[in-house]
């Protein structure tokens, strides 16, 4: 963006802040419009998922270190556990633990409010970025109706050369575009009816199976569609339970405990029994992963980008959301470095390609559960069978475990699991 420009970002959460960080290198002024109060301690009202454990995947960690040099050191200084994922996260498929061994990728156990507040502090320290408290109520198009030239707020129009929608799951851009005559944004969905329920405990339980590590994870399987993450954060221990359909983890304490007991890791149940509970459990219902196909909208106006959950929203058990938001910011950076002018249609296509891999991984995994609704193909069922075999291999072989975790961390492409050594070792196991 070579001439004087003003970029407006709708939504000042993870995706919006990361987009603002990138835009600050290319626009004269960046204004983030956020409807929620951000000067709060802890979980924000508009981001209730902040009550639940938020892991930053390795790819996201790499991008954040690039955007905010010193990120890792700063977080370590705040007491955030940052350790190798392969050795510090006891990853189980059901009851069976993956072989531990260095995965050469870090796990950042910051917790959502701390991570977001750190990122906000770094972005708002940039001289040409500001955050204003406002709810965006619509887009403003130019006379040709081919370009976005601003947004509407209760206080009037805010002019913009580029508008980035990072309004999360409640984004209304698709509706606004339809009302403005730009066409209908189609949507893909994988319906899984997932519930997350999380409870926080004081440091440290009398019986602590995590120790100096970061977390214990047990993933859902089609045989038992219930899973959990038990994590050591800066200020507490947190246990996030997840389950599909009739396996929804409950909020009342006795039923919560019964759910923990039904999981295949008795140590976690024992630990929670001895821990001091510091809050009541919080639940979040997640009906479906959704992907809005802006790249297919012929009438997509120029000057408009959609990022974060507003573009694609993933089943949270894969912990991809914040990392995909970071990947979108990274794609925006390369887009702006390569072009003089932001090109909305090109960027939507580029971002869709970025989303392809995490979407395929998450949708593929979910479609392995018979109750999940979505388009099943022969390719997804074959890939599922093979990935299940890789996970069985990971229980026996640290090389296979590392290969799997690096794909799940979005550092490697899924194709890397088809390397002859990984195929042979997975089958041998
Ligand atoms: C239970 C659960 C657990 C999760 N665990 C993980 C995890 O472990 N790792 C991970 O990476 N991700 C996880 N996620 C996903 C992650 O929370 C989201 O992907 C991420 O928050 C998306 O960021 P975002 O900025 O796009 O949207 P959001 O964080 O939802 O923020 C949207 C922002 O836009 C603002 N806004 C909305 N509309 C307007 C408007 N009209 N005007 C102005 N402002 C507006 C809102 O107030 C809000 O601040 C989890 C999600 C859930 C539900």
What is the CA(15)–ligand 1 centre distance, in A? 8
Residues 149 and 252 both lie in one domain: no
What's residue 177's pLDDT?
98
Residues 295 and 340 both lie in one domain: yes
Dist CA 403 CA 416 (whole Å): 8
Residues 324 and 311 both lie in one domain: yes
Kindly report the number of other CB atoms within 10 A of residue 296's CB atom.
Answer: 14
| Domain-located, residue 1 | no
| Domain-located, residue 228 | yes
Interval 304-335: pLDDT, tens: 999 999 999 999 999 999 999 999 999 999 99
Burial class (CB in 10 A: 0-12, 13-18, 19+), 47: middle
Domain finish residue from 245, 267, 286: 286
What's residue 5's pLDDT?
93
Largest interatomic CA distance in the chain: 67
- Say which DSSP state 326 is in: H
| Cβ–Cβ under 8 Å, residues 369 and 317 | no
Residues 77 and 126 both lie in one domain: yes
| Domain-located, residue 320 | yes
Residue nearest to atom 38 of ligand 1 (CA): 167
Kindly tell me if the per-residue pLDDT of 4 is higher than 70: no
Residues 116 and 68 both lie in one domain: yes
| Alpha-carbon 45 to chain mean position | 18
Decide: 163 in ligand 1 pocket, CB within 6 A.
Answer: no
In the chain, how many domains are there? 3
Dist CA 70 CA 83 (whole Å): 16
Q: Residue 61 forms beta bridges with which residues? A: none
Residue among 70, 61, 66 nearest 104 (CA): 61
Interval 187-217: pLDDT, tens: 999 999 999 999 999 866 778 999 999 999 9
Residues 44 and 116 both lie in one domain: yes
Interval 46-57: pLDDT, tens: 999 999 999 999
Decide: 10 in ligand 1 pocket, CB within 6 A.
Answer: yes
pLDDT (average), residues 22-39: 96
pLDDT (average), residues 421-427: 96
What's residue 94's pLDDT?
83
Dist CA 32 CA 313 (whole Å): 21
Residues 244 and 127 both lie in one domain: no
At 204, which CATH number?
Answer: 3.30.70
DSSP run (H or E) holding 307: none
Q: Whole domain around residue 277: which residue ranges? A: 192-286
Residue among 65, 121, 26 nearest 347 (CA): 26
Nearest atom of ligand 1 to the alpha carbon of 229: 8
At 46, which CATH number?
Answer: 3.50.50.60
Kindly tell me if the per-residue pLDDT of 2 is higher than 70: no
Count of residues in the chain: 429
Dist CA 145 CA 157 (whole Å): 16
Residues 352 and 382 both lie in one domain: no
Domain finish residue from 344, 364, 384: 364
Domain finish residue from 364, 389, 406: 364
What is the CA(165)–ligand 1 centre distance, in A? 12
Interval 261-294: pLDDT, tens: 999 999 999 999 989 999 999 999 999 999 999 9
**Confidence grade of residue 169 (pLDDT, cut at 50, 70, 90):** very high
| Domain-located, residue 234 | yes
| Domain-located, residue 93 | no
3-state secondary structure of 5: coil
What's residue 235's pLDDT?
86
Burial class (CB in 10 A: 0-12, 13-18, 19+), 420: exposed
Residues 14 and 125 both lie in one domain: yes
Residues 127 and 114 both lie in one domain: yes
| Domain-located, residue 70 | yes
Residue nearest to atom 3 of ligand 1 (CA): 316
From residue 42, alpha-carbon distances to 162, 166, 170, 419 in Å are: 31, 21, 21, 44
Residues 143 and 10 both lie in one domain: yes
Residues 304 and 163 both lie in one domain: yes
**Confidence grade of residue 41 (pLDDT, cut at 50, 70, 90):** confident
| Domain-located, residue 91 | no
The pTM of this model reads 0.97
What's residue 1's pLDDT?
59
What's residue 39's pLDDT?
86
Percentage, residues of the chain above pLDDT 90: 91
């Amino acid at each position: 963006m070579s001439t004087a420009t003003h970029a407006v970002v709708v939504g000042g959460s993870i995706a919006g802040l990361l987009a603002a960080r990138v835009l600050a290198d290319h626009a004269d002024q960046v204004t983030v419009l956020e409807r929620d109060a951000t000067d709060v301690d802890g979980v924000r009202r508009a981001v209730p998922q902040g009550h639940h454990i938020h892991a930053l995947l390795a790819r996201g960690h790499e991008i954040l270190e690039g955007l905010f040099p010193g990120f890792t050191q700063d977080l370590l200084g705040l007491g955030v556990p940052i350790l190798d994922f392969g050795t510090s996260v006891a990853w189980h498929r059901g009851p069976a633990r993956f072989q531990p061994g260095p995965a050469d990728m870090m796990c950042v156990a910051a917790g959502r409010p701390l991570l977001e507040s750190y990122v906000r502090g770094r972005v708002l320290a940039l001289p040409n970025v500001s955050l204003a408290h406002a709810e965006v109520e619509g887009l403003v198009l130019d006379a040709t109706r081919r370009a976005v030239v601003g947004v509407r707020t209760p206080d009037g129009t805010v002019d913009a050369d580029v508008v980035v929608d990072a309004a999360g799951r409640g984004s209304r851009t698709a509706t606004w575009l339809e009302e403005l005559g730009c066409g209908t944004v189609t949507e893909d969905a994988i319906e899984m009816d997932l519930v997350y329920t999380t409870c926080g405990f004081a440091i440290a339980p009398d019986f602590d199976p995590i120790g100096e590590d970061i977390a214990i994870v047990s993933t859902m399987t089609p045989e038992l569609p219930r899973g959990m993450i038990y994590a050591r954060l800066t200020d507490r221990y947190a246990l996030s339970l997840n389950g599909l359909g009739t396996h929804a983890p409950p909020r009342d304490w006795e039923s919560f405990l019964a759910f923990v007991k039904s999981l295949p890791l008795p140590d976690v149940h024992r630990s929670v029994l001895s821990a001091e509970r510091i809050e009541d459990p919080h639940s979040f219902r997640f009906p479906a992963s959704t992907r809005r196909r802006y790249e297919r909208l012929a009438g997509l106006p120029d000057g408009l980008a959609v990022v974060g959950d507003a573009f694609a929203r993933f089943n949270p058990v894969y912990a991809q959301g914040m990392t995909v938001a970071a990947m979108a910011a990274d794609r925006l950076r390369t887009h702006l470095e390569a072009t003089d002018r932001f090109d909305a249609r090109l960027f939507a296509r580029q971002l869709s390609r970025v989303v392809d891999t995490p979407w395929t991984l998450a949708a593929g995994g979910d479609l392995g559960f018979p109750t999940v609704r979505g388009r099943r193909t022969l390719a997804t069922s074959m890939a599922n069978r093979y990935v299940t075999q890789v996970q069985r291999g990971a229980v026996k072989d640290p090389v296979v475990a590392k290969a799997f975790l690096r794909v799940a961390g979005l550092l490697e492409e899924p194709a890397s699991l088809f390397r002859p050594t990984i195929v042979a070792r997975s089958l041998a196991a």
